[in-house]
Structures are given as structure tokens and as C-alpha cells.
A = this chain, B = another copy of it.
């Protein structure tokens, strides 16, 4: 490193300073033989049994601030892409990691964030096998953006997706909603109630691995940007059905509810980063819920509603005394750079 403390444009040049950065500071964090080969592409010795399919996904992460209670852009970039594989029923195998760094970022910051990213990927049994490093001049980006793409394998017996949704199936959420969005909000506005607001950022693989062994699973989504509300509207639109929710069943932490009341927000519209919504056959819903409760990541799981033949609203919430209200799709921007 020509400058031991901060990243410079030379670290993105393709020349010697970049090679040094990669060899000395980045590759060791991911420590695997495929990445260490340093070719322009990772070569993967995979075998696919008959009926197995590859899952392939990508996400860019632009969250601000880079670190927040419960996580950082590194844990988010790992778990966000792992979860996009997992909710399709895929076991995660390989991730890429592409960095866009604003000149001046402290090397120590980058290393700490990538160490966290590497740890989360390893914990899910996957490897970071290829990457890219760009450094842009001050002001051309904001600190650090990370793109991760992922490859997983969907077992032959698994077929999840909105094409399997049908009237009567039940909707389960794996835990309290809105934690990530609330944590970012409190953190940015420096609200005093920040102490209890912690992002739920986590890999869902350990939970989903068990759920895939249960019968009756039809579709899953992780409730990120747009929160549970966005997933419900996507389910309703894709299936040509409506969603009926029981308001009392929706798990929301007191601190998140407090923040929402203070700011006039709906917890269903706040992003989660470690929660999934599952659609399950009606007669399998109770057993699935038990299975979810058996894992720490699903200990707060709840049966929150069902899909019904199309009504005049896509998503309907039944509150106290059976009073119904319709939950509109989000049309504005609630909170930019949440993930």
C-alpha cells in the first residue's frame, strides 16, 4: 500500500497497488483456493443431479450509514444475497463480491466490513469465489457500495414460487417485522429510542433448511425494501388473488411500534433483513409454524393471514372488532438507501 491508511485511485487501477490490496488485505479474508487462483473468472466444479436447478441472483447495497445497530453493509451484502437464494429453496454455494469504493475510505473500515461479509457467507456454508474492485474519485460515490451475486442449487423436489399460490393458502411471517427499517431510521435521525432498535439482518438459511423438509410450502420471499407490505402486494398481483391479514397476529416489537407511532409509519412497510413471508397449504400451516418455532430465527413466527379470491382491494387488514381497512401499495419513497 502506497498510503497505509486510506484507499486511493491507484487501488482501482489494475496495476500493482491493486494487486497488493487484493493479495494482502482482501483475499486472506475470504481464504479459499478458487478465489486465490486470481483468474478473471472462478471455475466451479459443480455437479447437478437430475431435476436440480441453479438459482442465480444479484443485489447492490448502498445503505447509509455503513454501520448500524445489528449490522453493517458487509453483513447486509452477504445476507441479502444469501436470502434471495434461500427463499427460492436453494442451498447457497457461491457468492461474488464487487466493490465501488469512494477514494479516501479508510482501509481499516473496508477490511472490517469485508471480514463481517466473509464470516456471514462462511456461516451459510458458501464461498466468495470472485470479485471486482473499483475506486472512484471523491464525490463520485458515497463511501462504499457493494454488489454481491449468488449461485445456489434448488433440490429436484423443491418447487416454490408465486405460480403455486392459491386461494385458501396461509401466510406466515418468521418473526417481528420492520426491525431493520426502524434501526436505520433511528440511527440516521439520532433518535434517543435507538437503544432497542436493532436490525434483524441475518441469513435465513438455517431456518429455511428445516422448513424445506416440511410438506406444503408454496412460496417464500424475504421482506426487504417495501417491507411485508410489498411482498403481500406482489403475491396478490402474481396470483390474481387478495390477501386478508389479522392485524392482531402481526408481530411487531414495542420499540418498533413506538417509533412508527411517533413518525406516523406502518411497521408493515418497514424493511426487514432477516424475516421471510411464507405461503403454505392450509392443512400444513400449523405444522410449519411449529417447525419455524423450533429454530431461534423463527421463534417469533406467526400465522398472519391467508390468500382469498380477489376482492376490491389487494391487501385487507382486519383490525380489532373485525373492522377492515385496505393496505395500499407504497407509491412514494419511504426511506432511501435502506439496503
Interface residues of A (CB under 8 A from B): 2, 8-10, 12-17, 19, 37-48, 53-60, 62, 64, 83-85, 87-88, 90, 94, 96-100, 129-132, 134-137, 139-142, 145, 147, 149-152, 154, 161-163, 221-222, 224-227, 230, 233-234, 237-238, 271, 329-334, 336-337
Are B226 and A14 touching (Cβ within 8 A)? yes
A151 with B56, Cβ < 8 A, contacts A8-B333, A137-B336, A141-B140 known: yes
Are A16 and B47 touching (Cβ within 8 A)? no
- In the complex, which of the residues B83, B142, B332 contacts A10, with contact meaning CB atoms closer than 8 Å? B332
A16 with B330, Cβ < 8 A, contacts A41-B56, A44-B53, A54-B44 known: yes
A132 with B96, Cβ < 8 A, contacts A15-B226, A238-B38, A336-B12 known: no
Which B-chain residue is minimally distant from A135 (CB atoms)? B336
Number of copies: 2
Chain B residues within 8 Å of A47, by CB: 48
Are A13 and B56 touching (Cβ within 8 A)? no
Main secondary structure of the interface of A (DSSP, over half): mixed
**12 other A-B residue contacts (CB within 8 Å) besides A38-B162, A147-B147:** A10-B331, A13-B226, A13-B334, A15-B329, A37-B161, A38-B234, A41-B56, A41-B87, A56-B94, A62-B100, A136-B142, A140-B142
- In the complex, which of the residues B100, B150, B227, B230 contacts A145, with contact meaning CB atoms closer than 8 Å? B100
Are A141 and B141 touching (Cβ within 8 A)? yes
Are A56 and B140 touching (Cβ within 8 A)? no
Q: Give CA–CA (A175, B85) in the complex, Å.
A: 41
Are B38 and A43 touching (Cβ within 8 A)? no
Are B44 and A55 touching (Cβ within 8 A)? yes
Chain B residues within 8 Å of A90, by CB: 41
The 6 closest A-B pairs by CB, nearest first: A14-B225, A14-B226, A15-B330, A58-B96, A149-B149, A9-B333
Chain B residues within 8 Å of A332, by CB: 10, 13, 15
Which B-chain residue is minimally distant from A223 (CB atoms)? B14
- In the complex, which of the residues B85, B130, B162, B234 contacts A57, with contact meaning CB atoms closer than 8 Å? B130
Show 11 residue pairs from A and B whose CB-CB distance is below 8 angstroms, ordered by the A residue: A9-B336, A13-B336, A15-B330, A16-B331, A37-B163, A41-B87, A41-B152, A43-B55, A58-B130, A59-B98, A60-B100
Interface centre among A47, A85, A132, A142 (most CB of B within 10 A): A132
Q: Give CA–CA (A230, B40) in the complex, Å.
A: 13
Q: Give CA–CA (A137, B139) in the complex, Å.
A: 13
